[in-house]
A and B are shown apart, each in its own frame.
Chain A
Amino acid sequence: DAGVIQSPRHEVTEMGQEVTLRCKPISGHNSLFWYRQTMMRGLELLIYFNNNVPIDDSGMPEDRFSAKMPNASFSTLKIQPSEPRDSAVYFCASSFARYQPQHFGDGTRLSIL
């Protein structure tokens, strides 16, 4: 069975540009999570969806960040405008239910110049 699929794997762009990260969760999983990981702050939860509905977005750092889940098989995380401090690895994870073990995608390594 395919795991969580993220795209792109790497993204390098200039400050001020819009960045869109994509995620396809595991089929049948009802919960989807977006995380950001840096050396300084570790793994941080940005937003959590349950049945395509955003439940907890308290980790979204600023209004420049937005996330959508238009259907059960697709989610996006958008940063507009991007800044150098947004450089990090962004992971998407899904689980069968909120407190079940999470399965992570391979991540998107984002560099903002």
Chain B
Amino acid sequence: QKEVEQNSGPLSVPEGAIASLNCTYSDRGSQSFFWYRQYSGKSPELIMFIYSNGDKEDGRFTAQLNKASQYVSLLIRDSQPSDSATYLCAVKTSYDKVIFGPGTSLSVIP
């Protein structure tokens, strides 16, 4: 089992819809969780981080964390074509490493 897993996609959603990106992790003691967005040919940029169970909202983005299920998700409301990118989940584990998932490719169709 990989330490951080994501659906590779591509995930396609119509403009204006909600995009749901999922991430699971294997280390139950993981403490911090990050979502990065990476446009093609560009570097990853941080869009959200979450430390506690529950939801965290920032504009059109909502991060959801469920430590019991070892699951973290990112919801993008009112998806725009400019949201088309690869989304990387990163997890800070209990053994002092930050592990990146393979990323999910999102395509928002106008």
Contact = CB atoms under 8 A, between A and B. Distances in A.
Given A99-B32, A99-B92, A45 B46 contact: no
Interface bracket on B: 10 to 19
A56 interface: yes
Given A102-B46, A104-B44, A45 B102 contact: no
A26 to B, nearest CB: 13
Interface in B19-44: 31-32, 34, 42-44
Interface size class of A (residues with CB under 8 A): 10 to 19
A39 to B, nearest CB: 10
A42 interface: yes
Given A99-B32, A99-B92, A101-B49, A45 B43 contact: no
Interface of A: 42-43, 45, 56, 91, 98-99, 101-107
Given A43-B103, A56-B96, A99-B32, 10 more contacts: A43-B44, A56-B97, A91-B44, A99-B98, A101-B49, A102-B34, A104-B43, A104-B45, A105-B43, A106-B42
